[in-house]
Amino acid sequence: MSSKASIQKAVLACAALAVLASCGNESSDQGDSPFVIAAKTASGAIASRRASADNAPAKPPKTPAEMAAEALRVNPNPLIMAGFESLGRSQVMAMTDRNGGMRTYMTPSEEALIMRDGMLVGTRGLGNDLSVAEPATAALIRAGRSGSAPRVMRYFSGDGLERPLSFDCDVGPGPKAGVIVENCRGHGVSFQNSFMVQGGQIPVSRQWIGPSLGYVTIQTLRP
């Protein structure tokens, strides 16, 4: 399959889960000076270009497919596309660190997602960050098996301390073939994570970060 087809397939899968100078006046005796004429000409050209730029229609934002294609062309590292639903934007993120099964993907503005084998286990630089997630459901999800297991989500509170929140989660097949869902509840909150599982890998998912940041859709562009 071509890289273009792979990008389009990944974007469509993700979209399914997401259901991406002022001048002074010269005196009269300078009015005919060649230097003044040249200055006026240059100023006029600059003003004209600025006016054209100001009046030009704004370029439409790049589509997820366009962002993915550009990132794959210029960045040789592993890449993901992250769509932050509460923030209303999608962003290509490149792997900047790897420690065993843990991968850190980051934007140029140092917003980061920390992943373990396709499961989101932390965020950085987004505000209201997830310090660390401990999903005991991970083995069930990657194996495509039904079952129940706890999930612990740790967040930093206003006093700088880490607060764990424990959830009871049920894992089972989703409404579409190949999709595994994780339904969690606890502390008056419920959420549902969705994972497309292929050969034990998770190339596309929709995962809950927390009550403030909500959901992020994540698709692998380059493993």
Mean pLDDT per 10-residue section of the chain, whose length is 223 residues: 52 46 38 41 49 66 82 90 94 95 94 97 94 97 97 88 94 94 97 95 96 96 95
- The confidence score (pLDDT) of residue 12 equals 52
Lateral strand order in the sheet of 112-116 = 119-124, 112-116, 102-106, 89-99, 79-84, 214-222, 201-210, 189-198, 179-186, 162-173, 147-156, 130-135
> pLDDT for 23-73, tens place per residue?
334 443 444 444 343 344 444 444 555 555 566 677 777 788 888 888 888
Domain 63-222 has CATH 3.40.50.720: no
Average pLDDT, the chain: 82
The pLDDT of residue 40: 43
Q: Would you kindly state where each structural domain of the chain is located, as residue ranges?
A: 21-62, 63-222
